[in-house]
Amino acid sequence: MRVNIENLIKRYNNRVVLDIERLDIEEGKVYAVLGLNGSGKSTLLECIAGLIDYDEGKILYNGREGIENSRKAISMMVQKPYLFDKSVMDNIISGLKFRNENKKMMDKRFYEYLSFFSIDHLLYKNAKKLSGGEGAKTALLRTAVIETELTLLDEPTASMDMESTLQAERLIKSMAGGKRSVVIVTHDIFQAKRLADDVIFLDRGKIIEMGSAYKVFSCPKSSALRKIMNL
């Protein structure tokens, strides 16, 4: 899905927390959003997902303003995902059920995506009793199985161990291509290097650096990014 953002302003309590002059999300790519705590990364994703209203500007989805026609084509894994008081399996297929997919399709998607992680032993466990990393895998699979054109992921691997993180990254890569794109918020520069085609670096609500991951990481212009990269 193509998303074009123009002059977007979001305020909380009269304070501007997001001020994006222009941002274009193209089809088929993985975008990594980086930035310090409070720089507006989650707010940006929430605006794109239509979870919150913004104060000024435009977001175009495949060239059309307003999310209504595109809502079904977008999914988001929020920073602290809510898991239902049901089994892991039920949680993973809950989005497909909500979308009234047939049983055959649900089974196919479920087993296809399950193979990315080693969580077969957890399938009948109540999701409320999972560890942080197990919950994150469940939430990521729940988002992945719907196969939306645009997937927004807010620090999906923050609580995962290294092996699971690499498994998750393989899954995340598979979610982009053709018309499908992924925007992932991460604090892990190495993850951004492994995953992203393009990088968006936010500082106090503004994009201060953006472009191909290779270009941004090999020659960061802003002192803020250079500092994070230890240059």
Ligand X SMILES: Nc1ncnc2c1ncn2[C@@H]1O[C@H](COP(=O)(O)OP(=O)(O)OP(=O)(O)O)[C@@H](O)[C@H]1O
For position 55 contacting ligand X by CB under 6 A, the verdict is no
**Listed ranges 33-41, 100-108, 119-127, 172-180: which one lies at the site for ligand X (CB under 6 A):** 33-41
**Which residues, including other chains, have CB under 8 Å from residue 115's CB and lie 6 or more apart?**
none
For position 60 contacting ligand X by CB under 6 A, the verdict is no
Return d(Cα 65, Cα 72) in angstroms, integer: 15
**Listed ranges 30-38, 109-117, 212-220, 221-229: which one lies at the site for ligand X (CB under 6 A):** 30-38
Task: Find the binder of ligand X among 42, 164, 165, 181 (CB under 6 A).
Answer: 42
Q: Closest approach of Cβ 155 to ligand X, in Å?
A: 7
Q: Which is nearer to ligand X, 38 or 177 (CB)?
A: 38
Task: Find the binder of ligand X among 31, 32, 35, 47 (CB under 6 A).
Answer: 35
Q: Closest approach of Cβ 191 to ligand X, in Å?
A: 14
Task: Find the binder of ligand X among 8, 41, 134, 135 (CB under 6 A).
Answer: 41
Beta strands in 88-178 (DSSP E): 150-154
- Burial pattern 89-118, b for ≥16 Cβ within 10 A else e, equals bbbbbbbbeeeebeeeebeebbeebbebbe
Q: What angle do CA 26, 53, 184 make, to 5 degrees?
A: 40
Q: At what angle do helices 103-114 and 132-144 cross, to 10 degrees?
A: 130
Nearest of 135, 143, 151, 146 to residue 83 by alpha carbon: 135
Q: Which is nearer to ligand X, 43 or 191 (CB)?
A: 43
For position 81 contacting ligand X by CB under 6 A, the verdict is no
Q: Which is nearer to ligand X, 42 or 191 (CB)?
A: 42
Return d(Cα 143, Cα 135) in angstroms, integer: 12
Residue tagged 């499908």 (tokens): 180
For position 80 contacting ligand X by CB under 6 A, the verdict is no
DSSP state of 16: E
User: What part of residues 8-27 is at the interface with ligand X (CB under 6 A)?
Assistant: 12, 17
Interacting residues with ligand X (CB under 6 A):
12, 17, 35, 37-43
